[in-house]
Structure 1
Amino acid sequence: MALRIANKRLTKELAEIHKSGPPTGTTLLNAEDLKEWRFSLTVLGESVYEGETFALRFRFNDNYPLEAPEVVFLTSPPFKAPEHPHIYTNGHCCVSILSTEWSPVLNVTSVLLTMQSMLASCKKKEKPKDNDRYVKHAPISPKDTVWSFHDDNV
């Protein structure tokens, strides 16, 4: 039953992206199956990331949309994760809507807009303070991390 709900929702979201396009500044790179999609993301307007393009991978499990997708920035060449206080060099993102604040009313487009906004509002390129420790001990999936959301001033 859950798989059927996930497939129906993802099929609908993908059809809407093909029809209307993803949010401005993002491009669908690949969605050959419903389990994994890839997008490029360019930050809009003046920002510390001007001229840079990043790539995001979305992985969906059978509990989507009841459960958030796994979203990471790709770090294999030619891609790299943005240098940002909430994005680790392994591509994991400390973003509340991908964890405790996920809601089934959110979707791929809302995640892309959140990432776009998070990067656009960043004033200074810097790695998370605990980057090296986290990356060294990080689980394969960021969904297996217990995040602490304490800083929304970036």
Structure 2
Amino acid sequence: MTGSSTSSRKVLSKVASIRIQKELAEWQLDPPPGFLHKVTDDLQRWVIEVYGAQGTLYANEKFQLQVDLPEHYPMEAPQVIFLHPAPVHPHIYSNGHICLDILYDSWTPAMTIGSVCISILSMLSSSTVKERPEGNDRYVEKCRYGKSPKETRWRFHDDKV
């Protein structure tokens, strides 16, 4: 779905490798509430279970995020998508792509995988409706052959959810 397989990814820079290992160690000691990292031997691809917060539309629901870390992380944002089935949300397309500015234009190296996860959970928790973004079917069709969400020119105009 992401268009990036393990064999096509570039080798992590030394800075990226050290940073990712540090974040992973911190996550294992004190994971953000509502998340579970599914342990694999792939440092560049994390699969994280997300549990909907109580008192929200997504309470008692579980989803999976796939986090692909680029060779120059944290100078470059990770690619984060929901695995199928993606939550029904005004900023989450049915193919799992997430329209959230910190994953693209507003990314800073001070952010971590944990802070991204908390932002995504906050986005889910603040939603008052379960609906797909306008133009979902058209967007998903355009991405059909593995287009990365990082190739999308996002318009961040709605900060209500």
TM-score normalised by structure 1 residue count = 0.93
Could you say which residue in structure 2 is the equivalent of 1:10? 20
Alpha-carbon distance in structure 2 between the residues aligned to 1:82 and 1:88: 8
1:5-44 superposed Cα distances (whole Å, 9 cap, x missing partner): 1001001000111122x21111011342211001000121
Out of 71, 74, 84, the position equivalent to 2:83 is 74
Structure 2: distance between partners of 1:63 and 1:70: 12
Give SS of 1:151's match.
Answer: coil
1:130 CA drift (Å)? 1.0
The aligned counterpart of 2:126 is 121
| SS of match in other structure, 1:67 | coil
Give the percent of matched residue pairs that are identical in Structure 1 and Structure 2.
Answer: 43
- CA distance in structure 2 between the partners assigned to 1:126 and 1:88 by the alignment: 10
Code of the aligned partner of 1:5 = V
Give SS of 1:103's match: coil
The residue number in structure 2 matching 1:36 is 45
Query: What stretches of structure 1 move > 3 A for 4+ residues in a row?
Result: none
Query: Could you say which residue in structure 2 is the equivalent of 1:65?
Result: 74
Unmatched segments (≥5 aa) in structure 2: 1-11
SS in 2 for 1:33: coil
Q: 1-side partners of 2:39 and 2:87: how far apart?
A: 20
Q: Pick one of 143, 155, 159 that aligns with 1:148.
A: 155
Indicate conservation of the 8 Å contact 2:63/2:86, yes or no.
Answer: yes
Partner of residue 111, structure 2: 106
- For structure 1, the 5+ residue unaligned runs are none
After superposition, residues 80-91 of structure 1 pair within 5 angstroms as 80-91=85-96
The Cα RMSD (Å) is 1.4
- Quote the offset at 1:140 in angstroms: 2.2
SS at match of 1:122: coil
**Equivalent residue pairs, number:** 149
- Structure 2 CA distance for aligned equivalents of residues 31 and 124 of structure 1: 34
User: Alignment partner of 2:63: what SS?
Assistant: strand
- Determine the C-alpha separation between the residues in 1 that align with 2:39 and 2:100: 23
Kept in 1, the 8 Å contact 2:53–2:60? The answer is: no
1:49 & 1:16 partners in 2: Cα distance?
A: 27
- 1:112 partner SS: helix
